[in-house]
Amino acid sequence: LGETPADLLSPQTQPVATEARFAEIRASLRPYAERANELVYLRSDPPDGDVERHTYRIMLNDETQYLSFVWRQGLLIGLRREDE
């Protein structure tokens, strides 16, 4: 398992992690990584072809939020904040 976090990003999401034009998006995600009090796995949706979605509850600044990570063939293709 010699992979780095960047190895888990799809070619479409790699620019979000590295290019200057996506700095604002990275800044909006930073609190989730740096200040989350709790990250709890909630569920996985049934696969839709080769796409999988896993939803987590996250506590940030004493507020409950939900994040869905979307994967295709083991690579992250999306991250969404969900209302519930």
Per-residue pLDDT at 1 exceeds 60? no
- As a whole-number percent, the residues of the chain with pLDDT over 70 amount to 98
Integer CA distances (angstroms), 61 to 29, 42, 81, in order: 14, 20, 15
**Is the CB of residue 51 less than 8 Å from the CB of residue 45?**
no
What's the whole-model pTM score?
0.82
pLDDT value, residue 52: 95
What's the average model confidence in pLDDT over 20-28? Answer: 94
- The first and second tokens of residue 52, run together, are 């999988």
Residues with Cβ < 8 Å from 37, sequence gap 6 or more? Answer: 59, 60, 62
What's the average model confidence in pLDDT over 55-62? Answer: 92
Per-residue pLDDT at 3 exceeds 90? no
What's the average model confidence in pLDDT over 24-45? Answer: 92
CA distance 10 to 50: 13
